[in-house]
Structures are given as C-alpha cells and as structure tokens.
Amino acid sequence: MLFISSVIGFFMAVFIIMMTIFQEEDEYKASEKLDDNVSKSEIAKHGVILRYSRPFFKRYVSPVVARMKGKDKYKDLYKRKLASAGLTDILKPEDFFAFKLFLIIGFPVLYVFLSEFSQANWPYEYIPFIGIGGFFYPDIWLRGKIQARQKNVIMAMPFVVDMLALSVEAGLDFVAAMHKVIEKAKPSALSDEFIIFLREVKVGAARADGLRNMAWRINLLQVSSFCATLIAADSVGASIGPILKSLSVEMRQKRSSEVEKAGATAATKILFPMMFLIIPAVFLVVGVPLALEMFFGEK
C-alpha cells in the first residue's frame, strides 16, 4: 500500500508540474500574440544586450516577477521611467525588473564563455562583481535612454511649435494642426508623443488629459510648461495661435542659451585631458630631443 501510494503521489506531482508548465506556455503564447506589434528591428534599435536577452527573461523570469509580493513598488518605480525613455511598448515594469535579475546570471555566464572561448583565462574572482554590475546595468542604460530622448524632444520643440502656430493661424484646430505637424516634421520623440496624444483623444480622452499624460511621459520642464499653457488657454477659450508663437520664441531662446552654456563648459571639460594627456605628449616630443642633445653634447 505504501509503494502504491508513493507511485500515485509521484504521478500526481508530475501531472501537476506538467499542467503548470503547459498553462504557463499558453499564457506566454497569448502574451506574445499581444506583443506582435513590436518588431524585432524595433527592439534591435535599443542595443544588442536587450535584443538577445529579451526572449529569455520575458519567457522565464517575467512570469516569476509578476507573482512576487510587493510588485506594485517596482511598477510605480519604473513605469514613468520606461514611458520617458519611450520603451512602454517594448518593456513592462515587471519585464524591466526581470531584465535586471536575468543579467545577474547573464553577465557572469557571458564572462565565462568569452574567457573560455578566447582562452584568455580571465580570473573568476570578478564574477560576483560582474553579477552586481549586471543588476545595475539596466538602470544606467535606462537613464541614458531617457536623457537622449529628452534631448531629442528639446531639439525638436521650436520647429514643431512653429508648425503648430502656422497651422492654427491657417484655420486648423489644435488636433488637426498636430496631424499636420506629424506629416511635415521630421520623425522625433516629440512626434511620437503627438501620435500617442492623438490616439488618446481619438478614443475619447479630453485634450487636457491627453496633454497632461504627454507631460507626465516626457517628464521635462519645457514640455510641462508647454502643456500647462495650452491647457490654461483651452480652459478659458483663448486663441492659441499667439500663445504658440510666443512659446516658440521662448523655446528658441532657451535652446540657444543651452548651446552657449554647453560651448562655455566645453573649454573646462577639455582642460583636464589637455593637462594630463596633450601637454605631456608635447613635452616628450619637444623636450626629449633637446635633453638628448644636451646629454650627448656634454659627453
């Protein structure tokens, strides 16, 4: 009886495990069908590490992370950051945290593979530090994505606001003017945000709510000021054409001041490389021949 009970218990455990695996496989296939709108070329734009690690952490780590306790904490932590980086369609907050956990193992495995493949015999004592670096690498990568996207938005804003002002003064309403900007302006992060705004308005959201959402996603002072001004003008029924013109002039002045500021700090940034790299090289090229000439001349 004990043997029969053990056999029955074993087969029941195997059955439960297999049912769980197949259920997770069905859930994964269903989620993959929902993510079909994200192409592999779009994922490849965000780096080699994300491109090749996404299938693994999304399949095996994300389901585990989605069941963790306290998942709302990292959802609140990464939701806005992913929106600011323009990665909402590619990574969910739980996927991003799974990405961090996956690289704790992924980076050391890659380190060992490269060490064995190249026969370099790299020391394995660094593996724990590489795993820690793998956990923090996605945060550094995400911060760089946010900064690059915000810079792209700042550079595109003056032209886009000019186009909006011209379109509104030509008789178009604000939504139609945004459509015209998307058609005529160069592709940019700001144009992508306008597309999201128009999509939200199309499904029934108020223009004020759409502008607030856009300011929340971009998380930039200039855009927040731009959206707040448009919301205030729309609430009182004022004409936004002159407001857009004044905003355009103000943004061009701010961009010019930022460029001047960057040019002024460039001289300071190049000072230390010049002191420690360029000046010693010049000294060696000029001083060593003179020193050798004096030495051999005395001899």
**What is the per-residue pLDDT across 104-139, written as a single tens digit (0 to 9) for each?**
988 988 888 888 887 777 888 888 898 899 999 999
As to burial, measured by CB atoms within 10 angstroms (0-12 exposed, 13-18 middle, 19+ buried), residue 65 is buried
Q: Report all structural domains of the chain as residue ranges with CATH numbers, in order of start.
A: 42-146 (no CATH), 151-250 (1.20.81)
Of 226, 213, 180, 205, nearest in space to 84 by CA:
213
Residue 29 has pLDDT above 60, yes or no: no
48 or 38, which is more confident? 48
Residue 38 backbone zone (phi > 0: left; psi -120 to 50: alpha; other: beta): beta
Q: How confident is the model at residue 81 (pLDDT cuts 50, 70, 90)?
A: very high
Q: How confident is the model at residue 15 (pLDDT cuts 50, 70, 90)?
A: very low
Residue 112: the pLDDT is 85
Of 52, 97, 92, 51, nearest in space to 74 by CA:
97
Q: Determine the 3-state secondary structure of 121 from DSSP.
A: coil
Dig out the tokens for 181 from the structure.
Answer: 């900007």
Identity of residue 223: V
Q: What is the mean pLDDT of residues 134-161?
A: 90
Q: What is the mean pLDDT of residues 227-256?
A: 79
Of 236, 230, 182, nearest in space to 208 by CA:
230
Can you give the pTM of this predicted structure? 0.75
Residue 299 has pLDDT above 50, yes or no: no
For 161-218, the pLDDT digits (tens) are 888 888 888 888 888 888 888 888 888 888 889 999 999 988 888 888 999 999 999 9
Identity of residue 295: F
As to burial, measured by CB atoms within 10 angstroms (0-12 exposed, 13-18 middle, 19+ buried), residue 167 is buried
Q: Determine the 3-state secondary structure of 15 from DSSP.
A: helix
As to burial, measured by CB atoms within 10 angstroms (0-12 exposed, 13-18 middle, 19+ buried), residue 164 is buried
User: What sections of 91-238 are H helices per DSSP?
Assistant: 93-118, 127-169, 174-184, 189-202, 207-218, 221-236
Of 233, 202, 203, 197, nearest in space to 215 by CA:
197
d(CA 262, CA 87): 28
Dig out the tokens for 280 from the structure.
Answer: 């010693």
109 or 276, which is more confident? 109
Residue 96: the pLDDT is 92
| 286: CB partners within 8 A, 6+ apart | none
Q: What is the mean pLDDT of residues 20-42?
A: 57
For 83-106, the pLDDT digits (tens) are 999 888 888 898 899 999 989 988
